Homo-oligomer: A and B are copies of this chain.
Amino acid sequence: MAKGASLSGFPEWLPQERVVEQRVIDTLRHIFELNGFLGIETSAVEKGSSLLKKGETSKEIYLLSRLQDVGNENDTPIEERLGLHFDLTVPLSRYVVENSGTVAFPFKRWQIQKVWRGERPQEGRFREFYQADIDVVGNGELPAHYEVDVPLTMVEALEKLRELGVPQATVHANNRKLSEGFYRGIGLNDIEGVLREIDKLDKIGADEVAKLLISQCGASEKQAHACLELAQLSAENGTQLREKFGTLCKAHGVAEDGDAYALAIEGLETLAMIVDEATKIRPGAVIADLKIARGLDYYTGSVYETFLEGAESLGSICSGGRYDNLASQGKKKYPGVGMSIGLSRLMSYMLHTAHATASRVSPAAVLVAVWDEADRAASNAIARELRNRGIAADVAPTSVKLGKQIKYADKLGIPYVWIPSTTDDNGEKTREEVKNIVTGEQIPACATEWNPADEYTHQTVVIAHNN
């Protein structure tokens, strides 16, 4: 991270780090568009009333006030004030309703933007970070196959990032209906409460969660342990999932003719479909993991979290789910399913653990040297010729000694220094040459014909193995 970034929680990268972030964004966009997702951007702000819809995170909103209104901010109710968006799902639901007459449904969209959360400073969490989202939103209804299409697109995108240092990703899927049906089947009714506590499993462990289920959600010890048993259930295919769940229901006396069981089976069948369909294409990439709860209360069906092999401590780097009630307009509903990559968190891992960095600091492949300020126009002309041919070129800042100009190129990682023709001490024109300052090789060259070696053509992302 850029040293001395004075505002904690607001990450800034050095230019060579920003190259990595830009490459990640470009790669995600490419895969999303290859899969037919449309790109949009929404404004950074939403009305307070939109932002406050969603329960828990509402505490983390940044509200805006115009400098001229300072002191009178509170004349306006929070619902009417503007705040920065804290995710890209709430803005999407507003955008879809506003443009429902124009966009085609199902509306497949990608969106990569910064979001802001007014976390407490001492927590050292990001207060500004990139999210990379895909969602599919239907008009009235949304076919279940999108619940497997979305995680598969994300897996494909994360797979593409492996060459940039991202480890193998596995999507862990669950279904809210399955959980809710089971909880109701064993006699629990505070579904949101139970999900909220189960969500803490990785953080505080099973014993603490059991205590909370008992103290906060009115569970008996037996019910609490049934919830934990469900959470421990995972499966790599539908058959295994059905078997394990059936056994669990029997063990805890869930009646097979009740509404609760029917709800659970509805969720189970969707989850089984997801895992089985995904297995056909990328075996092991999407697994059923019944501890996935997602703290947010707007999910109504499938929920997803994504973990990286060997970097599980990062937590989920790509999460989401299906939401049937987030967007509506009168009686019309716009159900959706989506996932969101926490890009800044992924970036921290890539930069600081995987040591991804730019192959060179400057995008320029060539620095054109300048013999004398009077000759600058000649050096500019060479640079222009190279640029016309798609070769990024910079021109030396000053006509200091050639050695110093080479040092400037070296500091920027520019591999070639172009040495224009000049007049030597005997009044003879010298040859125009280009020097590879990595290998030391120096050859005669002409700006209309010369090309850099393949590995130096573009600024790329490399993994610095020497760190």
A 1-43 contacts with B by CB, 8 A: 2-7, 10-15, 18-19, 21-22, 33-43
The answer to whether A33 touches B128, judged by C-beta atoms less than 8 angstroms apart, is no
A11 CB to closest chain B CB, in angstroms? 7
Q: Are A67 and B61 in contact (CB under 8 A)?
A: yes
The distance in angstroms between the C-alpha atoms of A149 and B383, with both chains bound, is 12
Q: Type the 1/0 row for A371-397, where 1 means its CB is closer than 8 Å to any CB of B.
A: 001001100100010010010111101
Q: How many residues of A contact B (CB 8 A)?
A: 94
Contact (Cβ within 8 A) A99 B281:
no
Q: Which of A284-292, A310-318, A358-366, A430-438 contacts B (4 or more CB under 8 A)?
A: A358-366
Kindly report which residue of chain B lies nearest to residue A29, judged by CB atoms.
Answer: B22
A398 contact set on B, CB distance < 8 A: 143
Task: State whether the Cβ of A199 lies closer than 8 Å to any Cβ in chain B.
Answer: no
Is A456 interfacial (CB-CB < 8 Å)? Answer: no
Which of A103-111, A246-254, A349-357, A418-426 binds B?
Answer: A103-111
Q: How far is the CB of A301 from chain B (nearest CB, A)?
A: 17
CA distance A412 to B99 in the complex (A): 15
CB distance from A49 to the nearest CB of B (A): 11
A332 on the interface (CB 8 Å rule)?
A: no
A208 within 8 A of B: no
Q: Which of A70-78, A171-179, A223-231, A260-268 is the interface stretch?
A: A70-78
| Cβ–Cβ contact A67 & B118, under 8 A | yes
Residues in B whose Cβ lies below 8 Å from that of A384: 281
Does chain B have a CB within 8 A of A429?
Answer: no
Q: How far does the alpha carbon of A295 sit from the alpha carbon of B435 in the complex, in Å?
A: 46
Contact partner of A102 (CB less than 8 A), chosen from B14, B36, B102, B149, is B14
Asked whether A74 lies within 8 Å of B68 as measured between CB atoms, the reply is no
Which of B2, B39, B362 is in CB contact (< 8 Å) with A38? B362
Q: Chain copies in the assembly? A: 2
B364-A36 in contact (CB<8A): yes
Q: Is A416 an interface residue (CB 8 A)?
A: no
Known: A73-B73, A95-B12. A43 touches B7 (CB 8 A): yes
Let me know if A191 is at the binding interface, CB within 8 A. Answer: no
With an 8 A cutoff between CB atoms, is A280 at the interface? yes
**Which chain B residues border A346 with CB–CB below 8 Å?**
none
Residues of B within 8 A of A149 (CB): 395
A43–B11 touching, CB < 8 Å: yes
Contact residues in B for A392 (Cβ distance below 8 Å): 33-36
- Cβ A34 vs Cβ B393 within 8 A: yes
B412 near A6 with CB under 8 A, answer no
A364 to B35, CA, bound (A): 7
The reply to whether B67 and A7 contact each other, CB–CB distance below 8 Å, is no
Which residues of chain B come closer than 8 Å to A145, judged between CB atoms? 373, 376
Is A63 part of the contact surface with B, judged by Cβ < 8 Å? Answer: yes
- Shortest C-beta distance, A330 to chain B (Å), equals 15
- Within A312-361, the residues touching B (CB, 8 Å) are 361
Given contacts A34-B392, A281-B380, A392-B33, whether A12 and B63 have CB atoms under 8 Å apart is no
The residue that A45 contacts in the complex, of B7, B65, B109, with Cβ under 8 A, is B7
A205 CB within 8 Å of chain B = no
Given contacts A3-B101, A36-B394, 16 further A-B pairs with CB under 8 A are A3-B98, A3-B99, A3-B102, A7-B45, A12-B41, A12-B42, A18-B39, A18-B40, A35-B393, A36-B393, A43-B128, A45-B128, A60-B66, A63-B66, A70-B73, A71-B74
